Amino acid sequence: MGWIGWTVTVLLVLAASLLAGWRYAHATGAVGVLDLADRTIGGANGTRLVASGTWYGPLPAQRLDVIAPDTPGPHPVLVFIHGGGWNSGRPEDYHFIGRTFARAGYVVVLPGYRLGPDGVYPHMLEDGAAAVAWTAANVARFGGDPAQVVLMGHSAGAHTVAMLGLERRWLAQQGLPEGFVKGVIGLSGPYDFHPFTSDSARNAFGHVKDPRLTQPITFARGDAPPMLLLTGDADTTVKPRNSKVLARTLTEKGARAELVILPGIDHAGPVLKLAQPFARDASVSAPILAFLASLHQASAPVQAPAD
């Protein structure tokens, strides 16, 4: 079997593993394999890993990676926070997200954060806010424009970016001014999920006396940053109603909120479709890039998207 045959075999096994369940994918390291597949078939073209394992705080989990276009800046900035039920996931496994958007002209910051027994409310929000503050202070050194920062997250990471965008206190505690974040993108996110029905949610938030304080829907406001919420209608891990109700509530309050419901897509699908093996389907990348372009003029892509 030649190189192409082996690559196809790896991708088929990978796809089967990932589609079996996102929690399983994290437990077995399959997301890292997806990143390897992305890099192997050309996902690194036109991009550079400009920071790896850089500390944004004193704790072991408070490290981040930065991937940038292989072209001069300044470029707009995307901070991506991974999911994993607040108990798993590593930023280095999501370099494919960084490469995908670096090819489109964005500097991408990929922070880690406290997980498991330490990954309880409000630690994920404190870490997320600290990573955004690091971005504000340092991203210019890597070709990024700190005046054009957008947050994006998947699943648990989508909860974090929604809270950072909606509840003012987290970024304010880091000394960031109102309006610093220019937009928020949530993929398969939990935004209105109390009462808690999963072990991961109970472990992360069950100790909070007023559970409403953990819910992004509580902080919906008319002057929120523009938000794009993508979800699959086949998501049984985080029900699509989370995105629907947050988008509706924000719109009713006068904020800009765009809702994209992807037919036949499960919880992992929005992330899978941002990796090279699945990138020919632009159902996720197209609305994200259109939303980003509406917020600011991105630099010219360094590589044409796959047909």
Tell whether 101 is covered by a domain: yes
DSSP string across 176-239: PPTT-EEEEEEES--SS-PSP-SHHHHHHHTT-SSGGGG-GGGG--TTPPPEEEEEETT-SSS-
Give the β-pairing of 181-187 and 47-55.
unpaired
Is 133 among the domain residues?
A: yes
In 3D space, the residue among 276, 305, 278, 277 whose CA is nearest the CA of residue 290 turns out to be 305
State the Cα–Cα distance between residues 245 and 197, nearest whole angstrom.
18
- Domain span including residue 237: 46-295
Q: Is 32 exposed, middle or buried (0-12, 13-18, 19+ CB in 10 A)?
A: middle
For residue 19, being part of any structural domain is answered with: no
User: What's the pLDDT score for residue 142?
Assistant: 97
Q: What is the pLDDT of residue 77?
A: 98
In this structure, is residue 50 part of a structural domain? yes
Which pLDDT score is estimated for 1?
44
> For residues 153 and 29, what is the distance between their CA atoms, to the nearest angstrom?
19
The answer as to whether 204 is a domain residue is yes
At 134, which CATH number?
3.40.50.1820
Total domain count for the chain? 1
Please check whether residue 27 lies inside any domain of the structure. Answer: no
Assigned domain for 40 exists: no
pLDDT at 22: 52
Question: What is the C-alpha separation between 193 and 177, in angstroms, rounded?
Answer: 29
Amino acid at site 136:
A
Neighbours of 61 (CB within 10 A): 17
Contact criterion met (CB below 8 Å) for 55 and 49: no
* pLDDT of the chain, 307 residues: tens digit per residue: 455 545 544 554 554 455 445 554 554 456 777 787 778 777 678 999 999 999 999 999 999 999 999 999 899 999 999 999 999 999 999 999 999 999 999 999 999 999 999 999 999 999 999 999 999 999 999 999 999 999 999 999 999 999 999 999 999 999 999 999 999 999 999 999 999 999 999 999 999 999 999 999 999 999 999 999 999 999 999 999 999 999 999 999 999 999 999 999 999 999 989 988 788 899 999 999 999 999 975 444 444 344 3
* Backbone angles phi and psi of 4, in degrees to 5: -65, -40
| pLDDT on residue 82 | 97
Q: Which of 104, 1, 34 is nearest to 277 (CA)?
A: 34
The answer to the question of residue 229 being in a domain is: yes
